[in-house]
Amino acid sequence: MDLKWVVTDETHVEEAKKLAHDLDISYIAAKILCSRGIISPQQVEQFLNPSLDKLFDPFLIMGMKDGVNRIIKALKENEKIMIYGDYDVDGITGTSLMFLVLNRLGADVSYYLPNRLIEGYGISEDGLEEAEKRNVDLLISVDCGITAVEEVKIAKEKGISVIITDHHEPGAELPLAEVIINPKLDSPDKPGYELSAVGVAYKCSQALFRQLKQDEYELEQHLDLVALGTAADIVPLIGENRILTKFGLDQIARTTKPGLKSLIFIAGIMGHKIGTGQVVFILAPRINAVGRLGDAQKAIKLLTTKDETQANAIARVLNAENKRRKNIDEQTLNEALELIETTVDLSRDRAIVLSSPGWHQGVIGIVASRLVEKFNRPTVMIAIDGGEGRGSARSISGFHLYEALKECDEYLIRYGGHKYAAGLSISPSNIDKFREKLNQVSTKMLSSEDLIPKLKIDSELELESINIELVEILEKFAPFGPQNMRPVFATFNVEVVGTPHIVGSNHLKFKVRHGDCIFDCIGFGYGDFLRKLHNRPVYVDIAYVLEFNTWNGANKIQLRIKDIRLSR
């Protein structure tokens, strides 16, 4: 699909000029900061130099005080506690963090993750039976529970108290848990509204340590877990999330956790700079793999063990499972593309709903994401197993997935999620009706313009304006993620020089020139564009991000291509 380039309006010209002058920084950087709502020198200072001292008071989250007091009661009375987590990276890291913290405080604590293939998402009756077998007094959910109305009733009948910690959207009815800690129950302008599940777990840990007058500095060793879960869950990397992730990425680089060190080594990035990209595309898939293909308990053991031999063995299992998961991904993607070819009318349908009895429940979310990238439509993939279909849904900008599913709830057994991602269960007999209804909803919510994939350009830029100082200050915008993406620039009518060639797996390497300025470019996956560069001279328009390419200890500026087209 061709991308439509959308250049950000220059609405803060005077503010940007003043900011550039007052702080002695590049006007380009000042303009981007202003476009992101960072306008005053104080805001810029806090953004470019974030500090853990700026984290908000955890007791500002609704339910936090009651939740902490209930946990302290359990500690004092030596109650058996079970942490009930989720099998994705956010749930795994959140469960690991809560387990390590409560264990450190002397709790009689265990953990439980549902089997994705048998129990599915959330608190299950199987899980509650296991809690009963363990004689659990207090169940603390992590990354689930906000829609577990019936399950919490069952827990209470078994004499188990429940604290829910979650960050998903609440349903029409809340569970009657003893305490609910979920920032989504408050208004969007309140602190922590966009926290990940592991972020909520960290705030709970902060509050617990504060209430017990423990040294909160001790918790910083677990910021590696917070960065893993927060980056992997694709939550907005602004405010609290950005601070936690920035310092968490630093902690990953010096982690003392044997399992995480082993995983970094086996993934081949030991000694490399680790940013959100390395988390999302290298580490997270390996942690996710065991949960996607069945039992995620190994991932918890990996992140909590102190035994280096055990850590290395588990890391190797995760790496092998990730390779197996990739093969299943490819097979499922090819089958999905064939189904789209034969059953979806892309000129009419504004949402894609696919189902098959042969699909693996653990990979349909990944495949749905890839279909969204390819077709720019909300996509639901449903794996049918016996009398129930379990689906993963992914969305596009401008389409609130959870709100859309609410309009289709008459055809769903249960569902939950966010604006951009959701899970659901459905009777196979209702899939066609659900498909029709979701398309009606998407037709109402999405215009033809919304279906055109867009590339946001932060600023046009002349090659002559690119220098080391600009790249260095843009690097301080990191960590990058939703609502704080790496700035994208556009330069028009530049000449391709040298000998463009393909490197690696279909990646295009070339140089561009304007006047006396020449820069190296790398376009990952753009190898097919090489055939358009044979005639000389050839001029192109490029959209790109600026980065340093480090080779033999030397930093050289490189333009990483986001899109390229021949100049008109």
Q: How many domains does the chain have?
A: 3
Mean pLDDT of 388-410: 94
Domain presence at residue 259 = no
**Residue at which a domain ends, from 223, 249, 275:** 249
pLDDT of residue 386: 82
- Element (H or E) spanning 432, and its range? helix 431-445
| 424 within 8 A of 405, measured Cβ to Cβ | yes
Domain end, chosen from 397, 422, 451, is at 451
Q: Is the pLDDT of residue 119 over 80?
A: no
User: pLDDT digit string (tens) for 247-291?
Assistant: 999 999 999 999 999 999 999 999 889 999 999 999 999 998 877
**What rounded mean pLDDT belongs to the chain?**
94
pLDDT at 425 over 80: yes
Dihedral (CA of 351, 353, 359, 365) sign: positive
Q: Which of 249, 278, 293 is the last residue of a domain?
A: 249
Together in a domain, 200 and 73: yes
User: What CATH number did the domain enclosing 216 receive?
Assistant: 3.90.1640.30
pLDDT digits (tens, 9 = 90+) for 198-246: 999 999 999 999 999 999 999 999 999 999 999 999 899 999 999 999 9
pLDDT confidence tier of residue 385, bands split at 50, 70 and 90: confident
217 and 364 together in one domain: no
**Residues 435 and 491 reside in one and the same domain:** no
Report the DSSP pairing between strands 539-551 and 489-503: antiparallel
Asked if residue 72 and residue 60 are part of one domain, the reply reads yes
Question: CA 537 to CA 58: how far, in whole Å?
Answer: 60
Same domain (yes/no): 15, 110: no
Reduced to 3 states (helix: H, G, I; strand: E, B; else coil), residue 173 is coil
Residue 175 pLDDT greater than 80, yes or no: yes
Together in a domain, 67 and 131:
yes
What is the phi/psi pair of residue 488, to 5°? -110, 135
User: In Å, how far are 130, 133, 347, 399, 436 from 350, measured between CA atoms?
Assistant: 43, 48, 8, 11, 11
**Is it the case that residue 121 has pLDDT exceeding 90?**
no
Same domain, 542 and 411: no
Spatial CB neighbours of 223, under 8 Å, sequence gap ≥ 6: 202, 244, 247, 248, 250, 251
Q: Within a domain: residue 296?
A: no
The residue range of the domain holding 482 is 4-49+455-566
CATH of the domain at 403: 3.10.310.30
Q: What is the pTM of this model?
A: 0.90
Residue from 552, 547, 488 nearest 522 by CA: 547
Q: What distance in Å separates the CA atoms of residue 184 and residue 552, rounded to the nearest whole number? A: 48
Work out the average pLDDT over 155-176.
Answer: 95
Please state the separation of Cα 188 from the chain's center in Å: 19
Residue 117 has pLDDT above 70, yes or no: no
- Has residue 301 been placed in a domain? no
Where b means 16+ CB within 10 Å and e means fewer, 243-254 reads bbbbbbbebbee
Q: Is the pLDDT of residue 9 over 90?
A: no
Q: What does the pLDDT look like over 70-86, one tens digit per residue?
A: 999 999 999 999 999 99
Same domain assignment for residues 400 and 474: no
